[in-house]
Each structure stands twice: as structure tokens, then as C-alpha cells.
Structure 1
Amino acid sequence: MRYLLAVLFLLGYNLSFGQQSRRLNTGWSFLREDLGGIWEAVRPAKQGDPETVPLWSQVSLPHCVNARDAVDPDVNYYEGPMWYKTQLNISNPYSAGRTLLHFEGAGQKTEVYVYTTKVGSHVGGYDEWTVDITDAVNSFKSNDSLFKAFKGKIPVAVRCDNSRDLEMMPSDLSDFNLYGGLYRYVNLVYEPGLYIDKIFADPVMTAGLKSAKLPVKVRFDNPGNIAAGDLSVSLKDPDGKVVASFNKTMNLFNGDQEVTTLDIKNPKLWSPETPRMYSLETKISSKAGSHISITPVGFRSFEFVKKGPFKLNGTRLLLRGTHRHEDFAGQGAAMTESQMREEMVLMKDMGVNFIRLAHYQQSPIILHLCDSLGILVWEEIPWCRGGLGGAVYQAQGKRMLTNMIEQHYNHPAVIIWGLGNENDWPNDFAEFDKQKIRAYFTELNNLAHQLDSSRKTAIRRCEFASDIVDVYSPSIWAGWYRGIYTEYKEITKTEFDKVDHFLHVEWGGDSHAGRNSENPDKGLQNIKATGAADERAGDASLYGGAARASKDGDWSETYICNLFDWHLKEQETMPWLTGAAMWVFKDFSTPVRPDNPIPYMNQKGVVERDLTPKESYYVFQSYWTNKLMAHIYGHHWPVRWGKDGEEKMIKVYSNCDQAELFVNGKSYGKRKRNSQNFPAAGLRWNVPMHKGSYEAIVKASKGGASISDTIHFDYQTDNWGKPAVVQLKKISEKDGIATIEAKVYDVNQVECLDAKNWIRFGLAGDGTLIDDLGTSSGSRRVQLYNGRAIIRIHTNNGKSVASAKIDGLPVAFVSL
């Protein structure tokens, strides 16, 4: 049992459970529309019945209705009702126990039925919730003929609905999809008649971090009206050794019970470098049975110094952060646990020590991963844009804030509860009253501190309410939505001085994966230094308004690497800075950006939507990590261009002390790394180029250890005119998947290496186009990157004809 619990803890499970708990991943049927009533979902099939409609499809959980259509270039994503149904074998081992369905999150409104009985509902797509189905199950089982008709199984149906609703958070104006479906795990849980609902255990450091007190508060659920029970509490250190314990016989189970305060000497501190985790095991035993709850505990202290930096465990820590949306290529919000783990490990390997979980409570798996990996957390409720709704709207916000804090209270990674985002953004309601918004912020702020006095509260981009919360983040997008990136430090210091506690979240810009530039600043010559870098109404649009990188830049990986490089080197010279979180780690889908190079995608990630790293990922690694790394810019830049003999810069992003570059076997000398020597911290070489093929190798070293990296590319000296023809060919095939590549040429068959035309791929025959992924190589309609684009096809062991269409050019075909 102990080994099983340890494994569950490492895997990130919600660890307050009965003797039995299992995920309900398989055996589900799905319908993407509404029904005339619950009977249509649960009526038993009879042999000889005529075919019934509508037709259901078979799915596994987690499942998102918008797995593909969120980035379909030709339709709006589905917002409406949908149904799931399954039949469960239910056998509760407790004679007077309770059977629960535990939802880790479902979007956005949910109703649950056992046969025709509605057993529960929930509003809000992101917090956890449970439904007690015991009575409905017992009632169903008591009908022998009905029970036999379902062969001893219990029919369960779930209706989800992500329809537009102004009186519900978040706003449909938000820059992310309001997904629908059972897109997080659903669990069947058996509990005894007396069990632990929640544990609240947040350590208080004392005596200069040499000791700590751990108050333990327990919330019981006592549906069996049990009169007495034996409670045991034990705290185990990271090595599994019991360092404190407590036992008590209890006869009161109402409300939250403060059962004990444990005294800990010389606690092993939690930090991003050493995320040492303790586990608190709490057990209640009674005549109803036993229930164990395992809670993560981390001992640490933190402080936002007034008008100063951030400190963890008494020492300054520069918060090196990013953001995350629950969104994945081909799956929407329905990420699996293994995909979440892969994503968070990629973040940690990039050097991240802080994350803002935007813009809603996220999967409990993510919080456990942040604990175990050592990533500090700002988590927030989905009050995002649109203004302020009425009583129902405001009640939802308070309910979701309460759920978020209570459900994630014990995670040492959490340091900030976010109360809102961009709440200065109107348009959902006729009234936009700043004083009413301030009043609601005040209510949320007071509620958060009432529920948890140890963490800070924060909001981002609502200046007229910046004085209400503990920590404020203004809008600073130097070099993207406003101004130029060399203004970053000056503007940030100005904003820092306006508030007591400052943290800069959201900065960066978009990049189209695979697009590179020999002159990334060419389109920016009309952008002026403004002394301001805030995002304003309309700045996200690709049309109209003042000159800005987001509209007039080339969206190349080259430019965004320079922008990140400048910000990171400046942050090293800002001793007053608490930290900053770039927006965002991974590209994600959004309904408000249909005209982006990948339609309906926010492309500000340093990895693509399928977790493929972009070049900018390695810029962060070079500043934020200690593990030896070296990366030559241009791994996805197959052809460079320019005049014959022209010098071209080759940049290397590395955390090594020095590096030597070899091009086609010739050394171009050694360079020493200096973070203030922009760009690439001085690891750059100007190399004369001639038409032909090149191999570049860098050998970098630090402290006697070395590492190398290699790229290959061609250099083109021929000038090109406007695109005249598209050529389409298969470039590889493996495991039944063919990759095809489209390139554009001028009338003289010279490759047009700066072409950005829109291209649309098509397919006829036996194959299946692998599209609607929201990636540069997984979209049937996409902008070219350096005059080319690729897409993949499941051949299905048959024959097909693929096409590539650019407006004004002849359609290209290739047979597969």
C-alpha cells in the first residue's frame, strides 16, 4: 500500500481518496449535439430495434469536442451542448459507503445523470468537483428488470455545454478557446461512511528557517453519521522517514477541524534547485472503514520586498518565468498526463523556475509537477476581459476562487493567487463601471486572504485597480505591441516605481516556426521609441494603427530570438527586479486571431503546439540553465541567401564560457561568452558566403567539459522575382506517413526564399491529410516560411493525389 501511494504521489494524482479510485478512460460514447431529453441517451438497446438516431461515436477520456475545429481555417469552433455516455460496473466495498464521480475539470457547464435521474451539475470549466451517485445507483439496482436489461451495469450520461454565455466566466472575448467536453480525467471513487474531504496544511517557518510549525486542519464528510473515529497524522520527510506524528480519537466531524500543529526541526527546504517534498499522511478509521489522505508539503518562505526584489528562503531569487494554456495539437484541452509531464519537463529543462497558469485553474497533475520539479506558481481564476457581469457571474468568480485555493492550498509551489486578467477590457456588457470593478476586486482580494493568509494576490493589466492587490503586473510589450525592445529596461523601471510589489508577466512576441530572416528589422524602420510599451485596443490586429512589430514585422524566429536575447541580457542587470514571465511557453489556439500565419493560433510560444522547440527555446536555455548546452541558430533554415562573398552572421546560443566555430572544416576562431555583448552573448561570427553547401560546427566548453552542435544549409546567391510557380514533392515516407513539401519559384526557377504567400493543401484518394493541428507543418492553410511549407499524410496503404494551391499561381499536384 505504501509503495502504491508513493507511486501515485509521484504521478501527480489527487491524493485524497478512498480505498478504491480508478480513472474512467474507456468505454465512452460521444455526441456533438443536444438531445431531446435524457431518455435518448440511456434507453436500453433491444434486439431487432430499427436503427436509431442520432449516431454516437466511441471516444476515450480525456476528450475535447474542439480537438480539431479550434484551428480549422474554414469554420468557427463548435460552441454548444454535447453528450457523453457509458455503462459502469459499480460495486462499493463499504456496506454504508458512498460512490462518487470525481471530475478534474469539464467544460463549461455540466450535468450528470444516472439513468434518467439528474444527480448533479456544475458551472465552470476548470475547477474540480464531485457528484455523489450512491442513492441513484441503489435505486437503479433495486429495479431488477431494469438492472438486468443493462446486464448489471449502471448507465451514466454527462451533458457538457460550452455555449456562449455573457453571465459566465471567462469571457468569449478572451484570447483563448472556451473548450467543451470531458477534457480532464473522470474518476470513480468509493468512500466509506466517514472520510476526509480536504486537508489544509501550509507550513509556517520559524527561527530563521531552522524550524517550522505545520498546522493541520481537516474537513470531513460524514454521510454515514458516524459518531466516533480514530485519527492519525504522520509527516514523512523526503527520504520517507517519519519526523512528526499525532493520534486522536474524534467524535466531532462538522466543519473544518484544527486537529494539531506539528513542530518540525531543521526542515529540508523546498526551492527550485532542490524541490524537497514531504508527505502528510492523514488517516481516519471508524466502524465505516478507513480512509487515507496524502498531502504534499514543502517547507519554504518567500517575500516580495517592498520596492525591491523577490526572496525565497531569505535569498534573492530572480523569477524566470513563462505561462501555460491547457492546449495541445490535435487534442485541444484534452491533454494526457504523459503529455503534461513532457511539457513541464521541457519547461524545467529551459531553466524555468516560475510559471503563471493562465488564465484559469489548471489540472491537479500540473500542480503536482510544479511541486516536484521546483516551479513556483501564480494561479488565477478565469475573470478575463469583458467587464463585470451580474450576481450569477460574480458568484461564480467567488466560487471558483474558493475552489482553486482550497483544492491547491497545500502545494508549496503556489505563491500567488491571481484574481483577474485584462479587466480593463470592456464590451461584454453595456455598462463598464470602473468603481464596480474595483469593488468586486476588493471582495475577491478579501476572500483570498480570508481563505489563505500566507499567499499573495495579484492581477495583470488593470491599472485602475493596481492598488487593491498585493502584487501588480502592468502591460509591457516592448518591441512587439508598442515601441522597440531596447526600451525594455527603462519602461520596466518606470512601471516598477509605481507600485510596492511588481512582477512583469507577459512579454515577448509571435514567431512563425520555420520562418527565418536575413534582415529581421527591415519592416520595423518606421517604428519609433515611444517610452511606453503597453498593449492597447487593436494592437493584436494585423491591420491598421501605428507601426508596430506585431503588424509590420516579419514574424520570423530570427527577430523574436533577438527580442528575447535583449530582454534576458537586460534582466541580468536589474537587481531590483522580482522577475518576469515570457508569454507563452507553447503556441495555443484562440478564436480571435483568424488571420495569423497559422489561422486561429497565438504563435508566441517558444515551442509549437505539439511541443516541438523553436529556435527561441535555446535562447532561454543559454541564460537560464547550468547543464552544458550549445545551439547554432538555424536548425530549421535550410537555405540562406545574399550576395556572393557577403559576410553572414552565424550565432550560437550557449551557456559555456567560450566556443569555437568551424565552417566547412575551417576555424573562424574562439569567442568568449559575455551576456552583455548583444546578440548571442558575443558568440557570433561573420562568415563570408559563396553559393554552395555548408556545414557549421560549434565546439563549446566550460570547466573542462565540452559540447558541440552541427547544422547544414545551402547558400543561394541568385536573385528572385515574384512567385510564379509552386512545386510539390514527397520528401520522405516512414511508418505509413508521407511528408510532402511545397516550394515557390519565380519564372526563372529561382527559389523565392522570402515568400510568405498563403498556401492551401488538399488531398484526394485513400490517404488522410494530417491537418488542423495548429502547427506550421500540420495545417492545410498556412503562410509559407521562407517560400516553403510541408504537411504530412497518412497513406492508409493506398493511392492519393495531393495538391497545393496559392492564389494566382497554377495548382501543383503530386501522386502518392
Structure 2
Amino acid sequence: MIRYLLLTGLIFCLFPFIASAQQSQRLTQHWEFLREDLGNVWEAVRPVADGSPESVPLWEKVILPHCFNAKDAVDPNLNYYQGPGWYRTTLEIKNPYTQGRTLLHFEGAGQKTDVYIYTTLVAHHTGGYDEWTVDLTDAIQQFLQSADAKRYKGKVPLEIRCSNARDVEMIPSSMSDFNVYGGLYRYINLVYSPALSIEQIHVRPQVDARGNTGVVQLRAVFRNPLHTEHASLDIDILDPQKKVVQHYTQQVSLKDSTVTMPAITIRKPLQWSPGQPQLYTVQARLKSATGEAIWSGRFGFRHFEFVTHGPFMLNGQRLLLQGSHRHEDGAGVAAALTEDLIRREMKMIKDMGANFIRLGHYQQSSLVLDLCDSLGILVWEEIPWCRGGLGGDVYKEQARRMLTNMIAQHGNHPAVILWGLGNENDWPGDFPEFDKQKIRAFMSELNTLAHQLDSSRKTTIRRCDFCKDIVDVYSPSIWAGWYRGRYTEYKDETLKAIADVPHFFHAEWGADSHQGRHAEYPEAALKKVATGKGTDERTGDFALTGGSARASKDGDWSETYACNLIDWHLKEQETIPQLTGSAYWIFKDFSTPLRPDNPVPYVNQKGVVARDLTPKESYYVFQSYWTAQPMAHIYGHNWPLRWGKDGEEKMIWVYSNCPEAELFVNGKSHGVKKRNSQDFPAAGLRWQLPLHKGDYQLKVVARKGKESVTDEVFFTYQTDQWTKPARLMMAKSISGDTAVIKVKLLDAQGIPCLDAADYINFSIAGGGTLIDDQGTAGGSRKVQLANGQAQISVHLNKGRSMVGAAVKGIPEAFIAL
């Protein structure tokens, strides 16, 4: 299943070489970028005199990783850019190996990529999410021997053209509910390798459910362009404490590109699990006349089973899979997430208590998989066959290739248990023909291919009922309380789904929430929502207009409602012993071209954290059910102004995993409550208090054995009733060169209008710049008010500015900075 593309005499291989490299340099600096196309590659390298007309178009200096759509994906006034873009830099080549190879390793680039050395096309790749490597050696030698090399003074020009232009014969479909990003949005590495090196070692560990005996099967894949015939291969297997537990030496004859080694047995191996992610290491040395190449990788022993119509078993014990989903998307960078951002996000997912994640809807950075291994997070990873129907031969070949690459590149990760073959393949639209039988036939082909490549994992898809019998594990559409029905129907619908297929998992459930928006009566809209008619998402349900009453259209999009929906789902999941598990959609808000009218335009707001990783209140609901470390969180940290009648009883509630909690209001105890997960809401940790106009300090002390944790919030209770919105009030706070502008919508008497959800538009004149196009409630120049309030930040740029705020039908307001 190794696939090569021959271009200009060079070998282009789709598997990564980074692990076998003797030397590797990450190329992040000294890049230039042009967000448009060129007539040809010559326009990127031709010599020009400063100031001459040929110096246009102008190139922008950038740092990698870099995405075309870092800001325009959430620009409220534009369609995001889908087209070509160019990158260029120069390489200083210092290969230390005699007859060594110089390689360029792409961790991912979107979506179609051409690689040039000077004007020579070295390789082309289609697929924005798998890794791939280009051998630059021959093209570099050819350039250095040319007359054009003199003006580069020993350096080598590299140009890369990326394109995310719409193409129905490419996956994923542009109908997908996420942006098909463009650019060098993952890292690129310059790699020096001996002429004979290890491309990959595929590690297939097996262990019985009791963990008595572990067996490791190794298959080495070599890179051997000079056709070296003989070498010696040394293998060490290290346990999680880095002690060598097995050593293996073999003289290899390199007639073939792969060598399968005899099985290695390890008695009583330490087993990998979310609670104890024990990782073994394989270290390999390949010695030949061309030099020595090394390779290192990790693996783990674990045994899992999806019981028929029953739970998920890991290492012989039931494990309720508790998870979420992840898109590669972030505020201000889109898909160009740095290692630091990825590590921070994955740590937050683990700290939320998750033991499972679905990587939607495409292969993700290898660092994500490494972190899942080390943190203890089980994985469903899938290829981007998502929506639109089924294309032709080119389309199908890309899907096969990406499935092959995904399994080859990520197959050593013990965290991975499910290979996803598709998502929402029942959603037509890209082609005049939508043939269910042809989709079934291709799904069956992918299912067979996945099992041929890796018989140790299961296959899965989400939401394509006419293919549910093909894969090993199926996830239907159950959106109780959001797209259909009420959240109180969740358990009944889940029990039906468990009985319907041999192996069930519930991927995707949840609710959108506008950060900072809270509700005194969050379930009011549910009175209009019909019950008993299913809870699946259907065509058009995601839209904010038309169709039957539903929370997604008629609800308030408050954090309060989202917390209640999540709370109900989690407490019900504890009462379904045959449930394998579920994954909440989604961990972090992300950009989508299909939702321009959301409170934050072009953002799917179902995340439990915002697009900048700021936690919403729902993050702590999950912690209260899923974590062991004592925690307590009073609902409403970003709810500074509550409202109601004077003396009206209001609920104060706390999310905690502790057996008991005591609430103090303005220093006075209001008693201890006992936690009971089935006592909805907030597992019984709630207090009804009469509130009066004024300021309140709330403090909770939660206890778990000898340990205790505390949390505090402050809010003001408003009893004055507002009337029609009449004016905007703006305030500022300045720290360094950044100003934060806060806006409130008031009535004619100056009373805050706390139910106002109008769109507000920010503008600026002068030397400052808005910190906008972030895809967050506080980082968009067009955004819905949250309880009559909004804010935005400004880079002052050491100058003076005027910021304007406008709400339709209200006089515009201004503030000077």
C-alpha cells in the first residue's frame, strides 16, 4: 500500500521521514507570502531592480505555520478566500551525509500543493490533512550546477503554491460545516537523511484482556534510492521506565522496501489506559555502507472491545467513553495552530475529564496524537469524506489514499481505537446524482481497505443510516433538545439506537451558547418544541429560520440553557450500563462558512470553550461529572448583572464533584447541600434565595474527605424594569497599548436592557486598530449583545482613535481613545 508519485525523476512519498532523520530543522522564519496566483513560478524568482514595475505584486513576510484564512474566515462582511497562494524562501543546505538525501517533510498543507526548487516542479500533493515528504536532493543538485545559482550565493530558492479553491472532485466538500482552509498551516521540516534510512516502523502490539502476554509485530519500511543491498538492523524495546526489555538484531537484505521481523514476546506488559497511559518505546539503528540511520517511536499495549449491544471494555474492564470533538481552528490563526496552542488545548481537554476524542473531520497533527497517547485520551480519527455525495475516480482515489496514509502514519498510536470512514454521507448536494447504492459500495470498499491495513482497530461512521450495517461501530444523529425534541428525550432515543445496531457510539450532541449570555428562564422556548417525533438533525435544522420549533432556532442561545442540556445528558449517561459512551460536539468554538447569522457570525458556538480557549460555564459541568480532583464552580462567573422582582426567589447553583458543598452569601452561610448526580439540575447543589436590589458576594466551600475547595463570584441584582432600548453607553479601560471598550444598551431612563440581543457593529477611525475577526464574543466587530452588553479591544498603536458603536434603530455612540 505504499504509493509513490514520480515527478521530474524524484521520488515523492506520502509517508513521513521525520522520526528517522539524523538532522531536522523546522522552517518557520524567513518566508514571504502572496495571497493570489502567479502567471508561473518564474514570477516568484525572476530578478528585479528595486522600485521597478516588476517588483509587484507585493509579498508579505510571514512566520509558519500560516493560514490564508487566519482572519477572513470570520470576517462578518466577506466570503472567506478560496484560491491559490504562494510561499517562498531560500534554503541553506548543509547535508552532513555522503550521498545523503535532503528531504522536505510537510506535516500538512491545504489543500493542493506544488513544490518547486527554483523553477523545477518537484512534487504535487492533494489532501490538506495527511503528512507527506518530498525528496529535494536531485533538484537541489541540478540548481546548484546551473548558471542561475550565482545570484543566490549558495542558497537554494524554494517556492510552494497552495490552493484551497473549490473543487467538487476533492474531499472534504465545501458543503462541510467547517472551513476548507488554505496555506502552510502545519509545520514544515528540512530533513537530512543517509542514503539508506528507515522510513517507518509499523508496530502492531497485541495483548489479551488480562494482560498476561504481549506480542509485538514489527514491519520496517526503508528508503533506499541508491539500492543498497545489505545492512544490519538493531532493535531495542524499552518499557515505560526506559529499561530495555527486548533486543533484536538482524542482517537485512534490501531486495524489498519492507522487512517483517519475527514476533517479539513481552511477559506481563504494563497496559495503556486513560488513567495510566503506559508507553513503550522502539529504538532502531540501521547500519550500512551509507552510514547509520536511527528511528524511534512509541506504542502501548491495550485490549479493547465493543460488546454487542453493550458497553465498551478496555483491558477487561468497562470504561464509559467520555469525550468531545476537535477541529484544528483557533482565534486569529485559523488552522495555523502552534505547538504551544495545541498542547494547551489538549491539556484543557484532559483537565475537563475527557478520556476520548473524535478528531473531526480529518487527520490532525501528529502532535495531537502524541498528546493523546501521553495524556491518556482514546481517539476516533477519520478521513474528510464529509457531505456532498460521491465523486468520480479522482475523488475516490484521494479518499483511498488519505485512508491509507492515516492508518500508516498514525497506526502506532495506542490511543487510536476507531478509524472513521466518513461523516454525514447521507447529505447530498455536490453532484446531480445522489446514488445511495454507489455510496454504499464505496463505503464497503473503504471498510475492507481499512481492515486490510489494520485489523486491530474498528471502523466507524457518523450519520448515514443507509450505511450503518457496513462499519463496525455506528453513530446515528441524536440531538435531543437542540435540533429536534427536548433534552429529556435523550435516554429513550439512546436506548432505541443501542438496540438498533450491534455496536453503538453517540458522537455529536450539544447546544450553541453565546459566551456571556445568561437566562433567568432558559427553558421558556421548549414549550413550543414537539416531543415524540425523533431527536435527529434533519435538512435545514441548523438554519435560524423556517421549519418546526426547535431550541436551535427559537431558544435563547444562553450559556444557562447549554449547561442544563449538558447536565441532563451527563446524569442520564450514568444510568445506562450498556452505553459505550458519547462525545460532545464540540470542545472549542470554530469557524464555519455555513453560519453567517450566528451571534458571532460564521462561528459554530457549541464549544465548551471559546475560539480563544476561554472556558465557558459548561466546561465546569463536565468537570463536575468527569474529574476526580476536587473542584467547585458557582454558575455565572461572567454574569455580572442579574434581574428580577425585589424579594423574588432565585436559584444559585454550583457544579462540583465533591459530596457536599456549603454556600455563603455576603458572608452568611445558607446551609450545606449533598451531591446526588440524579438530582437535576447541578446534582442537587442548588439554593433558592430571595434576592433584593444590590450587590452580592457568593462563596462556596466544597468538601471531599479532608480536602476542600472554594469558589467566589460577585454580581449585582437589578430590580428596575427596563423599557424600549434608547441609547448606548460606552466605557473604556486601558492597559499599555491596548484598550478594552465595553458597551451597554440602556432605555430612556438609563436602565440596562438585560434581554437585548441586537447585533452591534463596531468601527474605528484614527491610528488604532480593532482586535476583530477573532471569532469570539469579544473579538468581532459585528456581534450580538449578550444580556444587553458587548465589548471589543483596540490596539492603540501609540496613537489617538475614535471608536464607534452602532445598533439598528439606536443613535450611534462614540468614545475617544
Match in the other structure for 2:431: 429
Q: Which residue type is aligned with residue 128 of structure 2?
A: G
Q: Is 1:209 matched up with 2:211?
A: yes
Decide whether the 8 Å contact of 1:487 with 1:531 is kept in 2.
Answer: no
Match in the other structure for 1:751: 752
- Per-residue displacement from partner, 1:501-540 (whole Å, max 9, x unpaired)? 0000000010000000001112221112124110000000
2:72 equivalent among 69, 72, 77: 69
Decide whether the 8 Å contact of 2:208 with 2:303 is kept in 1.
Answer: no
2:720 equivalent among 713, 718, 721: 718
SS of residue paired to 2:340: helix
Give the whole-Å Cα distance in 1 for the aligned partners of 2:432 and 2:366: 37
Decide whether the 8 Å contact of 2:48 with 2:54 is kept in 1.
Answer: no
**CA separation of 1:281/1:747 partners in 2, compared to 1, >3 Å: closer, same or farther?**
same
What stretches of structure 2 of length at least 5 have no aligned partner?
1-15
Match in the other structure for 1:538: 540
* Deviating more after overlay: 243-252 vs 312-321: 243-252
TM-score for the superposition, normalised by structure 1: 0.97
4+ aligned runs moved over 6 Å, structure 1: none
SS of residue paired to 1:260: coil
- Per-residue displacement from partner, 1:372-411 (whole Å, max 9, x unpaired)? 0000000000000000001110010000000000000100
* Deviating more after overlay: 433-442 vs 284-293: 284-293
* 1:772-783 aligned within 5 A: 772-783=773-784
Give the whole-Å Cα distance in 2 for the aligned partners of 1:208 and 1:272: 17
Decide whether the 8 Å contact of 1:15 with 1:295 is kept in 2.
Answer: no
Give the whole-Å Cα distance in 1 for the aligned partners of 2:46 and 2:661: 70
SS of residue paired to 2:215: strand
* 1:406-425 aligned within 5 A: 406-425=408-427
Deviation at 1:208, TM superposition (A): 3.0
Match in the other structure for 2:801: 800
Deviation at 1:759, TM superposition (A): 0.1
Q: Is 1:79 matched up with 2:82?
A: yes
Give the whole-Å Cα distance in 1 for the aligned partners of 2:40 and 2:346: 42
Decide whether the 8 Å contact of 2:210 with 2:315 is kept in 1.
Answer: no
Deviation at 1:238, TM superposition (A): 0.9
- Per-residue displacement from partner, 1:236-259 (whole Å, max 9, x unpaired)? 111110001100111225132102
Give the whole-Å Cα distance in 2 for the aligned partners of 1:48 and 1:644: 72
Q: Which residue type is aligned with residue 668 of structure 1?
A: H
Decide whether the 8 Å contact of 2:49 with 2:55 is kept in 1.
Answer: no
- Per-residue displacement from partner, 1:157-187 (whole Å, max 9, x unpaired)? 0000000000000000000000000000000
SS of residue paired to 2:281: strand
Q: Is 1:40 matched up with 2:43?
A: yes
- Per-residue displacement from partner, 1:461-495 (whole Å, max 9, x unpaired)? 00000000000000000000000000000000001
Decide whether the 8 Å contact of 1:504 with 1:579 is kept in 2.
Answer: yes
Q: Is 1:494 matched up with 2:496?
A: yes
Match in the other structure for 1:640: 642
Match in the other structure for 2:763: 762
Decide whether the 8 Å contact of 2:171 with 2:384 is kept in 1.
Answer: yes
- Per-residue displacement from partner, 1:168-219 (whole Å, max 9, x unpaired)? 0000000000000000000001111111111111211148311100000011
Give the whole-Å Cα distance in 2 for the aligned partners of 1:14 and 1:686: 61
1:24 equivalent among 24, 27, 37: 27
Give the whole-Å Cα distance in 1 for the aligned partners of 2:47 and 2:324: 50
Q: Which residue type is aligned with residue 291 of structure 2?
A: G
Deviation at 1:47, TM superposition (A): 6.4
Deviation at 1:606, TM superposition (A): 0.1
Give the whole-Å Cα distance in 2 for the aligned partners of 1:691 and 1:208: 62
Deviation at 1:45, TM superposition (A): 4.5
Q: Which residue type is aligned with residue 795 of structure 1?
A: L
Q: Which residue type is aligned with residue 249 of structure 1?
A: Q
Match in the other structure for 1:320: 322
Decide whether the 8 Å contact of 2:465 with 2:476 is kept in 1.
Answer: yes
Give the whole-Å Cα distance in 1 for the aligned partners of 2:46 and 2:286: 41
Q: Which residue type is aligned with residue 760 of structure 1?
A: N
SS of residue paired to 1:621: helix
**CA separation of 1:749/1:49 partners in 2, compared to 1, >3 Å: closer, same or farther?**
closer
Match in the other structure for 1:380: 382
Match in the other structure for 1:741: 742
**CA separation of 1:206/1:623 partners in 2, compared to 1, >3 Å: closer, same or farther?**
closer
Q: Which residue type is aligned with residue 794 of structure 1?
A: H
Decide whether the 8 Å contact of 1:237 with 1:277 is kept in 2.
Answer: yes
**Alignment length, in residue pairs?**
802
SS of residue paired to 2:448: helix
Match in the other structure for 1:196: 198
Q: Which residue type is aligned with residue 58 of structure 1?
A: K
SS of residue paired to 2:70: coil
Decide whether the 8 Å contact of 1:220 with 1:253 is kept in 2.
Answer: no
Decide whether the 8 Å contact of 1:14 with 1:364 is kept in 2.
Answer: no
1:186 equivalent among 179, 185, 188: 188
2:100 equivalent among 97, 100, 124: 97
Q: Which residue type is aligned with residue 747 of structure 2?
A: D
**CA separation of 1:763/1:207 partners in 2, compared to 1, >3 Å: closer, same or farther?**
closer
Deviation at 1:296, TM superposition (A): 1.0
Give the whole-Å Cα distance in 1 for the aligned partners of 2:610 and 2:399: 31
SS of residue paired to 2:810: coil
Match in the other structure for 1:452: 454
Match in the other structure for 1:113: 116
Q: Which residue type is aligned with residue 468 of structure 1?
A: I
Deviation at 1:498, TM superposition (A): 0.6
SS of residue paired to 1:203: strand
Give the whole-Å Cα distance in 2 for the aligned partners of 1:361 and 1:14: 18
Q: Which residue type is aligned with residue 813 of structure 2?
A: A
SS of residue paired to 1:202: strand
Give the whole-Å Cα distance in 2 for the aligned partners of 1:269 and 1:350: 23
Give the whole-Å Cα distance in 1 for the aligned partners of 2:20 and 2:44: 30
Deviation at 1:320, TM superposition (A): 0.1
- Per-residue displacement from partner, 1:287-339 (whole Å, max 9, x unpaired)? 11111111111011100011110000000000001000000000010000010
Q: Which residue type is aligned with residue 445 of structure 1?
A: N
* 1:511-530 aligned within 5 A: 511-530=513-532
Give the whole-Å Cα distance in 2 for the aligned partners of 1:101 and 1:45: 28
Match in the other structure for 1:274: 276
Deviation at 1:14, TM superposition (A): 7.7
Give the whole-Å Cα distance in 2 for the aligned partners of 1:602 and 1:47: 46
Decide whether the 8 Å contact of 1:419 with 1:459 is kept in 2.
Answer: yes
Decide whether the 8 Å contact of 1:97 with 1:224 is kept in 2.
Answer: no
Q: Which residue type is aligned with residue 705 of structure 1?
A: E
SS of residue paired to 2:445: helix
Deviation at 1:50, TM superposition (A): 5.3
Decide whether the 8 Å contact of 1:491 with 1:531 is kept in 2.
Answer: no
**CA separation of 1:510/1:14 partners in 2, compared to 1, >3 Å: closer, same or farther?**
farther
SS of residue paired to 1:536: coil
- Per-residue displacement from partner, 1:513-572 (whole Å, max 9, x unpaired)? 000000111222111212411000000000010000000000000000000000000000
SS of residue paired to 2:525: helix
- Per-residue displacement from partner, 1:38-87 (whole Å, max 9, x unpaired)? 00111234568556110000000000000000000000000000000000
* Deviating more after overlay: 248-257 vs 333-342: 248-257
CA RMSD of aligned residues (A): 1.1
Deviation at 1:17, TM superposition (A): 2.5
- Per-residue displacement from partner, 1:567-598 (whole Å, max 9, x unpaired)? 00000010000000000000000000000000
Give the whole-Å Cα distance in 2 for the aligned partners of 1:164 and 1:453: 35
Match in the other structure for 2:360: 358
Give the whole-Å Cα distance in 1 for the aligned partners of 2:33 and 2:678: 56
**CA separation of 1:381/1:131 partners in 2, compared to 1, >3 Å: closer, same or farther?**
same
**CA separation of 1:809/1:218 partners in 2, compared to 1, >3 Å: closer, same or farther?**
same
**CA separation of 1:94/1:46 partners in 2, compared to 1, >3 Å: closer, same or farther?**
farther
Give the whole-Å Cα distance in 2 for the aligned partners of 1:317 and 1:140: 57
Q: Which residue type is aligned with residue 632 of structure 2?
A: A
SS of residue paired to 2:380: strand
Q: Is 1:814 matched up with 2:789?
A: no
TM-score for the superposition, normalised by structure 2: 0.97
Match in the other structure for 2:229: 227
